[in-house]
Amino acid sequence: MSLDQNLFTLNLVQRPDNPAVIDLVDTNGTAHYRKQRIPGSVYKIELVDPLSESVLATATAPSATNKHKTIELYNPNLAIDLRYTGTLSTRWKFKWEDHEFEWKKEECFIIRKPDPPVLVAITKEPSSRVRSWTVQILDYNINRFDIEDRKGLEIVILTALLTFGDSSDTYHPPGDDPPPYSDPIPSSSTAQAAPASLVASSDIKASPEEPLEYKPPTPPPKPTPKTGIDRIAEVHAMREEINEVTVDDEGLCMDYARYCYNLLQDEAMLFITVRSASPEQVPKVLHVVEEAKRLRHQAGIAYEEELHQYVVYDTKPVPRKVPRVINLDDPPSTSLYTPRSSLTVHLSKIPMPELQPKPPAQPEPAFNPEEFGTWAHHSDSYPTPSQSPKEESHKGKGKEKVLDPKGKGKEKQSSKDRKKREKMEKEEKEREKKEQEDKDKREKEERERERKERERREKESPKQKAKREKKEREQEVKDREREERERRERGK
């Protein structure tokens, strides 16, 4: 895109005696800005006002080719991030106020998504690598947008453009004999006024034999490492464990207890889980839990809010499926004490029935010697002198009968007979219940049939009624004759 001679144009002129200095002069030869590069291990340039010698902006980066540079403005102080966002083409982006700008090759646009971008600055670099550029700021396009500090925007645009030139010099260093200076937009006034401006600028600037000393900024001190309860909170925050406290070697018991106490102080925290990280930390978990409850007791919270405690021992992860291994070692001795491998304590403000200990299994019924007779009182089946003769007299041939110890002569049933009798009684009750249900069902069907018969008779016509009564009388006659015949046959 060609440049418009009627717009405000700045020529970037490099000084022959000091390549680190570039003057930005207009078509009349008046210097508006001066760029000077500060020597040092890091990349830094300054944009200076030639009249007041005040620094307007600085651009810093680890190197000139770095893809992230920081532009800092002064009076007032403001930092702008300049980032390289291109892949196949050159693109640099930065933000100013509420707008986003992008340098794309030789043009600077204001981004308006989804609307097309608007051109706000344009530059032209000669193809012969002459140490002079030309840049134009399109004020008529900038005025279309709500930008308060337009002068600051102009400084940022020019500072970013100057950093691009240093990047180009890094990739393409100039030769031993640089080409002479040539003005890209020649004019009659430029040829006369430019040398005077350059001489005035050279008088103010120090000679190249006396380079400026640059001291890199002092790095900020490292933050003090956290200790105590702050360190415990930091570790659990990195683990993303909100209501879980894992007791490890790092940290004191009192610090863990205060951390648990602070968690329980939160109204939204209904319960916390305190677990051991290794078998060696099991006693430490008990100490932490006791200290946390003691802190609640000292603060008077234990009287106002009840705290439930649920303990789980030896929680093992679900083992993954592996080939079966036959262990030929002797079983471990159960006489020695084995410490707990893990411990998990749940401190809850609400009851948690799913964590309550399960009730012990019901023991087997104790041996009752009365169910097996008087002989069951003795370990030996043979009678002893301690047995009474009355008990021995009940022994006879064949199947033995066990009498009631009270002596009433009633045979006492064994547990097997009692279960058999209970089963028979249960079957009898079920049979009676079924018979009663069948009887009720038949009666219900009979009543329903009679009701339907009555309804049918009420709806029949007189002729049908007479016909039905005639059939009933004939049926009664036949029934009497049949009964009379049967009676005579029985009499014979």
In 3-state terms, what secondary structure has residue 120?
A: strand
| Last-in-domain residue among 147, 169, 204 | 204
Identify the CATH number of the domain in which residue 269 sits: 3.30.110.20
Write the CA distances from 22 to 13, 60, 70, 158, 201, integer angstroms: 5, 17, 20, 12, 10
The parent domain of residue 171 ranges over 9-204
Most confident range, picked from 130-134, 261-265, 355-359, 416-420: 261-265
pLDDT given at position 334: 64
Angle of the 282-298 helix axis to the 253-265 helix axis, nearest 10: 50
Count of domains observed in the chain: 2
> What's the mean pLDDT in 157-179?
66
pLDDT given at position 71: 92
pLDDT given at position 356: 78
Asked if the structure places residue 311 within a domain, the reply is yes
- Is the pLDDT at 58 greater than 90? The verdict is yes
Asked if the structure places residue 108 within a domain, the reply is yes
Asked if the structure places residue 381 within a domain, the reply is no
Burial 239-252 (b: 16+ CB within 10 A, else e): eeeebebbbeeebb
Asked if the structure places residue 373 within a domain, the reply is no
The answer to whether residues 34 and 143 belong to one domain is yes
> What's the mean pLDDT in 69-76?
89
The answer to whether residues 286 and 249 belong to one domain is yes
pLDDT given at position 190: 39
Contact 349, 271 (CB under 8 A): yes
Lowest mean pLDDT among 11-15, 269-273, 383-387: 383-387
The answer to whether residues 74 and 152 belong to one domain is yes
- Is the pLDDT at 59 greater than 90? The verdict is yes
Q: Closest by alpha carbon to 210, among 446, 18, 427, 410?
A: 18
How much of the chain, in percent, has pLDDT values that exceed 90?
Answer: 16
pLDDT given at position 14: 84
pLDDT given at position 242: 79
The answer to whether residues 195 and 54 belong to one domain is yes
Mean residue pLDDT of the chain comes to: 77
> What's the mean pLDDT in 408-427?
75
pLDDT given at position 432: 92
> What's the mean pLDDT in 47-56?
90
The answer to whether residues 125 and 181 belong to one domain is yes
Q: Rounded distance, CA 276 to CA 285, Å?
A: 6
Most confident range, picked from 164-178, 409-423, 428-442: 428-442
Contact 36, 166 (CB under 8 A): no
Give me the residue label for tokens 């894992």. Answer: 246
Report which DSSP code applies to 364.
P
> What's the mean pLDDT in 193-219?
49
pLDDT given at position 213: 57
Write the CA distances from 63 to 20, 40, 66, 110, 212, integer angstroms: 15, 10, 5, 27, 19
How much of the chain, in percent, has pLDDT values that exceed 70?
Answer: 72
Over residues 110-154, the pLDDT tens digits come to 998 888 999 999 987 655 454 567 888 888 888 889 888 889 999
pTM score, two decimals? 0.37
Asked if the structure places residue 249 within a domain, the reply is yes
Q: Rounded distance, CA 298 to CA 406, Å?
A: 66
pLDDT given at position 185: 38
Q: Closest by alpha carbon to 58, among 132, 137, 160?
A: 160
Over residues 342-391, the pLDDT tens digits come to 888 888 888 888 877 777 666 666 555 555 555 444 444 445 555 444 44
- Is the pLDDT at 46 greater than 90? The verdict is yes
Asked if the structure places residue 238 within a domain, the reply is yes
Asked if the structure places residue 61 within a domain, the reply is yes
Contact 48, 55 (CB under 8 A): yes
The answer to whether residues 233 and 198 belong to one domain is no
Contact 356, 310 (CB under 8 A): yes
The answer to whether residues 184 and 246 belong to one domain is no
Q: With bands split at pLDDT 50, 70 and 90, how would you rate the model's confidence at 93?
A: very high
The answer to whether residues 83 and 195 belong to one domain is yes
Contact 134, 9 (CB under 8 A): yes
Identify the CATH number of the domain in which residue 119 sits: 2.40.160
Please indicate whether residue 227 or residue 385 has the higher confidence score (pLDDT).
Answer: 227
The answer to whether residues 84 and 140 belong to one domain is yes
pLDDT given at position 87: 78
- Is the pLDDT at 198 greater than 50? The verdict is no
The answer to whether residues 56 and 192 belong to one domain is yes
Asked if the structure places residue 427 within a domain, the reply is no
In 3-state terms, what secondary structure has residue 102?
A: strand
Q: What are phi and psi of 96, to 5 degrees?
A: -135, 120
Please report, in angstroms and rounded to a whole number, the separation of the first and last CA atoms in the chain. Answer: 145
The answer to whether residues 109 and 232 belong to one domain is no
Which distant-in-sequence residues (6+ apart) come within 8 Å of 124 by Cβ?
3, 106, 133, 134, 135, 184
The answer to whether residues 172 and 265 belong to one domain is no
Token pair, residue 408, equals: 């009433």
pLDDT given at position 208: 45
> What's the mean pLDDT in 447-470?
85
Q: Rounded distance, CA 448 to CA 454, Å?
A: 10
- Is the pLDDT at 406 greater than 60? The verdict is no
